[in-house]
């Protein structure tokens, strides 16, 4: 493997370039935007993702910047009564081999970009909207051995993969905002990741040490706006957000009514289709398999993809075989993760008798058993 072109400098593209450099392979990243800016939002990095960041030698630096929450808690959105919790800080390293962390996206991006800039085997070109492979070849002075589409859910590169999938609206929308700790209501717990759950909707809140703030994401059913990534939340969006949570606890409604600068995200997924042409092209991250954030695994899957791809294609197998092997293995894992997200959605958004049964089952389960259910997900060690 001599030349690799990566389209997109999101988490998939940046981690991919670092993973190839770790294998001694040079890569060129072509990014559409002129300035890389992450929107103001947080990210949960589960142990399967922090494991890869550790392998790339970045986890130590990030550990000074991220927070390792004590627990993941499920709380009623109507009453604020606790339903169940899983310890994370005290068990993540011993049980899953790596920490569970929350971090501001901009911080992760900054650290990845610093590493990319310091790596002589990587060159990053901004302001390069690659619509055709001719654009890539012209820049590189020839067709690369491998072209990686890491260009997100609205990938243009996907069109070069026969039988690839297409983004579909999931029926869900998200409102995201960050609230400084000093302005946050006291029910937000700075030590935990908390999912406030209710009929057809839930809210996830967690602390961002690097921003001195809480990240809050409110998810509910919503309408399809067409191809959109994110939008500033105008008054109509805000009133839709507050109406979706109208039956919720007063403190939550108050928080949503003064949420500072929320952004609105329609959630699209890519759940079918091929990722590779079986020759020299492959999709990774959201370009391959964008998913709803119900298991908080989209970026984690992008990180695993990028790391595993570099390992597989720099092995002894012919490139075509390696790409097909990668696609088969990763599709299996991603589909299991997607099912876990669908299960979380069912459990979080339950109402009526299903909700009562859920609360009963969760109260009766021992915390070790709840944690053991997640071993396959969080304990996964991406081979690289
Ligand atoms: C509300 C919400 C909450 C989430 N929370 C979590 C979480 O807690 N944990 C988690 O693991 N995941 C989470 N996710 C999912 C996660 O954000 C995504 O899965 C992840 O960012 C995907 O990374 P990516 O690099 O594949 O794509 P992107 O981040 O979309 O990056 C794609 C890059 O490609 C560039 N690009 C696009 N077109 C071109 C082109 N033609 N040429 C060149 N460059 C191009 C773009 O500018 C961009 O820089 C969440 C998602 C949402 C919506």
Tens of pLDDT, residues 160-206: 999 999 999 999 999 999 999 999 999 999 999 999 999 889 999 99
163, 140, 134: which is closest to 3 by C-alpha?
Answer: 140
156, 153, 93: which is closest to 291 by C-alpha?
Answer: 153
Average pLDDT over residues 78-99: 95
Answer for the pair 42, 105: CB distance below 8 angstroms, yes or no.
Answer: yes
Distance CA 349, CA 206 (A): 19
Which of 6-20, 37-51, 108-122, 214-228 has the weakest average pLDDT? 214-228
Q: What average pLDDT is seen over the chain?
A: 92
In this predicted structure, the answer to whether residue 228 has a pLDDT above a threshold of 80 is: no
Average pLDDT over residues 7-32: 97
CA of 289 to the centre of ligand 1 (A): 11
CA of 259 to the centre of ligand 1 (A): 23
330, 342, 336, 347: which is closest to 292 by C-alpha?
Answer: 342
In this predicted structure, the answer to whether residue 227 has a pLDDT above a threshold of 90 is: no
Structure confidence at residue 232 (pLDDT): 64
Indicate which atom in ligand 1 lies nearest the CA of residue 30.
43
Structure confidence at residue 94 (pLDDT): 96
Structure confidence at residue 116 (pLDDT): 98
The position carrying tokens 């939002």 is 41
Q: Which two tokens stand for residue 104?
A: 């501001």
In the chain, where do the E strands start and end? 4-7, 27-30, 42-45, 71-76, 82-87, 101-104, 122-125, 146-149, 168-180, 192-198, 201-208, 213-221, 231-232, 263-269, 281-283
Q: What percent of the chain has pLDDT over 90?
A: 75
CA of 150 to the centre of ligand 1 (A): 9
pLDDT bracket for residue 338 (50, 70, 90): very high
Give the fold, CATH level 3, of 4-66+101-166+270-353: FAD/NAD(P)-binding domain (3.50.50)
Structure confidence at residue 222 (pLDDT): 86
Residues 6+ apart with CB under 8 A from 138: none
In this predicted structure, the answer to whether residue 133 has a pLDDT above a threshold of 80 is: no
In this predicted structure, the answer to whether residue 265 has a pLDDT above a threshold of 80 is: yes
Indicate which atom in ligand 1 lies nearest the CA of residue 12.
25
Structure confidence at residue 364 (pLDDT): 82
Write out residues with Cβ below 6 Å of ligand 1: 7-13, 30-33, 43-44, 128-130, 150-152, 156, 174, 176, 217, 265, 267, 285-286, 293, 296-300, 302
Domain spans of the chain?
Answer: 4-66+101-166+270-353
pLDDT bracket for residue 226 (50, 70, 90): low
Indicate which atom in ligand 1 lies nearest the CA of residue 49.
11
Indicate which atom in ligand 1 lies nearest the CA of residue 44.
8
In this predicted structure, the answer to whether residue 253 has a pLDDT above a threshold of 90 is: yes
Look up residue 45 and give its DSSP letter. Answer: E
In testing the pocket of ligand 1, which one of 29, 37, 38, 43 has its CB within 8 Å of the most ligand atoms? 43
In testing the pocket of ligand 1, which one of 216, 291, 293, 294 has its CB within 8 Å of the most ligand atoms? 293
Distance CA 55, CA 33 (A): 28
Structure confidence at residue 356 (pLDDT): 84
Residue with more model confidence, 259 or 329: 329
């Amino acid at each position: 493997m001599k030349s690799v072109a990566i389209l997109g400098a999101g988490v998939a593209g940046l981690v991919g370039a670092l993973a190839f450099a770790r294998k001694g392979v040079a890569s060129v990243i072509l990014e559409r935007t002129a300035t890389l800016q992450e929107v103001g939002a947080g990210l949960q990095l589960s142990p399967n993702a922090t494991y890869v960041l550790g392998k790339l030698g970045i986890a130590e630096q990030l550990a000074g910047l991220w927070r390792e929450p004590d627990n993941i808690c499920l709380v009623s959105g109507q009453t604020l009564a606790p339903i169940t919790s899983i310890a994370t800080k005290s068990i993540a390293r011993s049980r899953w081999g790596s920490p569970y962390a929350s971090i501001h996206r901009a911080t992760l991006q900054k650290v990845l970009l610093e590493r990319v800039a310091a790596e002589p085997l990587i060159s990053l070109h901004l302001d390069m909207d690659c619509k055709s492979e001719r654009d890539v070849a012209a820049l590189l002075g020839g067709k690369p051995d491998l072209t990686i589409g890491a260009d997100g859910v609205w990938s243009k590169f996907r069109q070069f993969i026969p039988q690839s999938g297409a983004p579909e609206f999931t029926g869900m929308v998200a409102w995201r905002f960050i609230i400084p700790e000093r302005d946050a209501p006291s029910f937000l717990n700075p030590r935990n990741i908390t999912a406030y759950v209710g009929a057809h909707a839930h809210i996830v809140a967690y602390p961002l040490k690097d921003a001195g703030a809480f990240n809050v994401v409110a998810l509910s059913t919503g309408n399809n706006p067409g191809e959109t990534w994110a939008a500033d939340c105008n008054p109509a969006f805000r009133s839709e957000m507050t109406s979706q949570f109208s039956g919720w606890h007063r403190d939550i409604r108050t928080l949503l009514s003064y949420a500072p600068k929320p952004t609105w995200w329609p959630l699209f997924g890519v759940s079918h289709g091929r990722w590779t042409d079986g020759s020299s092209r492959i999709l990774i991250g959201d370009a391959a398999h964008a998913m709803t954030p119900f298991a908080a695994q989209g970026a984690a899957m992008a990180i695993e993809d990028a790391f595993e791809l570099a390992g597989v294609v720099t092995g002894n197998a012919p490139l075509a075989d390696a790409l097909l092997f990668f696609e088969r293995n990763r599709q299996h894992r991603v589909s299991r993760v997607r099912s876990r997200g669908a299960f979380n959605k069912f459990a979080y958004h339950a109402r009526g008798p299903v909700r009562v049964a859920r609360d009963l089952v969760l109260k009766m389960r021992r915390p070790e058993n709840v944690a053991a259910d997640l071993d396959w997900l969080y304990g996964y060690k991406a081979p690289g």
